[in-house]
Amino acid sequence: MDFKDRHVLVTGGTGALGRAVVGALIEAGAHCRVSYVHEAEAKSFPLRNNVTLHAVDDLSNEATVTKLYDGIPKLWASIHLAGGFAMGSIADTDKTKLMAQIDTNFVACFLCCRAAVKAIGRSGSGGRIVNVAARPGLEWRSGAGMTAYAASKAAVATMTVALAEEVAKDGILVNAVAPSTMDTPANRKSMPNADYALWPKVEEVAATILFLASPENAVTRGAVVPVYGRA
């Protein structure tokens, strides 16, 4: 896949999946803009060539998102990895916790999609958008015990498909991936007794994202692709 001289924005790109995605993009010739929240992740970020890091504290803030996208020349692809996970029964999830999940996972993704459509439109050359839903957002019963998270990711999946229809005429192909639990150090620490071999690796999920964001993807739109591994 050839991203030579193409500009790609990756939100949440300093996390475990983000590092795999950005690394693959750089190898393919892309120029990456990477947003992050935690300073420690930015300081330890190993990829510097053809990468510009942007500290962004709140992607659910419309003005913040607009500023992030306004400075990107000829945006080709926008990949939205930023989000957050929270367990919690509905009895323990008050409105504040619910809205935190909605803002972090859905509103942020919506605003980034909106800004990306505008930025890609300015180039006049079409482009790609890739969102991240989640398995509970597709398989609703698996969201028991995390209803706010599942609902927020289901909203991402629905928006992805609707937006794909809306902007196909502009040459913008919109898709999403829906991972199960990925094999990351944080997930291993929180689930020490799990069978890690069944989990999808971040490099494998990144490969799917890279194809969906690539010029080689000429026909796939409106897909929410399960990336479950063997889990």
pTM: 0.96
What is the DSSP code (8-state) at residue 32? Answer: E
Q: What is the dotted CATH code of the domain comprising 7-227?
A: 3.40.50.720
What is the DSSP code (8-state) at residue 15? Answer: S
Q: What pLDDT is stored for residue 1 in this prediction?
A: 86
Residues whose CB falls within 8 Å of the CB of residue 217, separated by 6 or more in sequence, listed in order:
128, 173, 175, 211
Q: What pLDDT is stored for residue 22 in this prediction?
A: 97
Q: What pLDDT is stored for residue 174 in this prediction?
A: 98
- Establish whether 149 is a catalytic residue: yes
Query: Tens digit of pLDDT per residue, the chain (231 long)?
Result: 899 999 999 999 999 999 999 999 999 999 999 999 989 989 999 888 899 999 999 999 999 999 999 989 899 999 999 999 999 999 999 999 999 999 999 999 999 999 999 999 998 999 999 999 999 999 999 999 999 999 999 999 999 999 999 999 999 999 999 999 999 999 999 999 999 999 999 999 999 999 999 999 999 999 999 999 998
Q: What pLDDT is stored for residue 168 in this prediction?
A: 98
Q: What pLDDT is stored for residue 206 in this prediction?
A: 98
Name the active-site residue from 36, 69, 149, 228.
149
The domains of the chain are located at 7-227
Q: What pLDDT is stored for residue 47 in this prediction?
A: 80
How would you list the strands of the sheet with 75-80, edge to edge? 51-55, 31-36, 7-11, 75-80, 127-132, 172-179, 224-227
By CB atoms closer than 10 A (0-12, 13-18, 19+), residue 17 is buried
Q: What pLDDT is stored for residue 231 in this prediction?
A: 85
Catalogue the E-assigned strands of the chain.
Answer: 7-11, 31-36, 51-55, 75-80, 127-132, 172-179, 224-227
Q: Quickly count: other Cβ atoms within 10 Å of residue 109's Cβ.
A: 28
Task: Let me know: does 200 contact 116? Beta carbons within 8 Å.
Answer: no
Q: What pLDDT is stored for residue 136 in this prediction?
A: 97
What is the DSSP code (8-state) at residue 196? Answer: G
| Amino acid code (one letter) for 118 | K
Q: What pLDDT is stored for residue 19 in this prediction?
A: 96
